[in-house]
Amino acid sequence: MNPPKMFLAALVLIPLGLSLFVIVPLAEGDAKADKALEDARKRGQVLYKQSWKKGAKACFACHVRGPNKLTGRRLKTYPKYDKALRKVVTAQEKINNMIKTKSGGAGLDLGHADLTALEAYISTLK
Ligand code: HEC
């Protein structure tokens, strides 16, 4: 290879090689992120179908059909004013309140992985 050709080859190959250092970890990061989200949704699905106390109802029991059918689109309307709570609430606050008032639970700290999992699952509902 003569010098000008070598220069051209370097001009193409060096950025190509460097870009691999960026692209490969990014792709790995995507796989990890996808898996984490999928796990959260699966956990949320389990929680959605269980009640927090014997004899209490699961979310699913009241929200699968009818006027209270829950969908991702509905969840997107938060934050909004909640009549029952008499203030503007986030989706997590509303979900947490449902756990306490309808599903027999004690409620969770906001940001708790289980609350986020429920939110992640509900957001997939059509
Ligand atoms: C016994 C029935 C019942 C159970 C169990 C129940 N809910 Fe509800 N939920 C309702 C009713 C009725 C409403 C509408 C009145 C209100 O907003 O308080 C509602 C409202 C909601 C809303 C607001 C919907 C909107 O359009 O703004 C969300 C979100 C919600 N529930 C999530 C849940 C989750 C998550 C669970 C399980 C932890 C759950 N609910 C358990 C009856 C129930």
Q: Which residues contact 72 (CB under 8 A, 6 or more apart)?
A: 122, 123, 124, 125, 126
Task: Indicate which atom in ligand 1 lies nearest the CA of residue 118.
Answer: 35
| Per-residue confidence (pLDDT) for residue 89, from 0 to 100 | 98
| Per-residue confidence (pLDDT) for residue 23, from 0 to 100 | 67
Query: Which residues have CB under 6 Å of ligand 1?
Result: 57, 59, 61-63, 68, 70, 74, 84, 94-95, 98-99, 102-103, 118
Task: Indicate which atom in ligand 1 lies nearest the CA of residue 61.
Answer: 5
| Per-residue confidence (pLDDT) for residue 31, from 0 to 100 | 93
How far, in Å, from the CA of 49 to the mean position of ligand 1? 13
Q: Which residues contact 89 (CB under 8 A, 6 or more apart)?
A: 78, 79, 80, 81, 82, 97
Per-residue pLDDT of the chain (126 residues; tens, 9 = 90+): 677 777 777 777 777 676 766 666 667 789 999 999 999 999 999 999 999 999 999 999 999 999 999 999 999 999 999 999 999 999 999 999 999 999 999 999 999 999 999 999 999 999
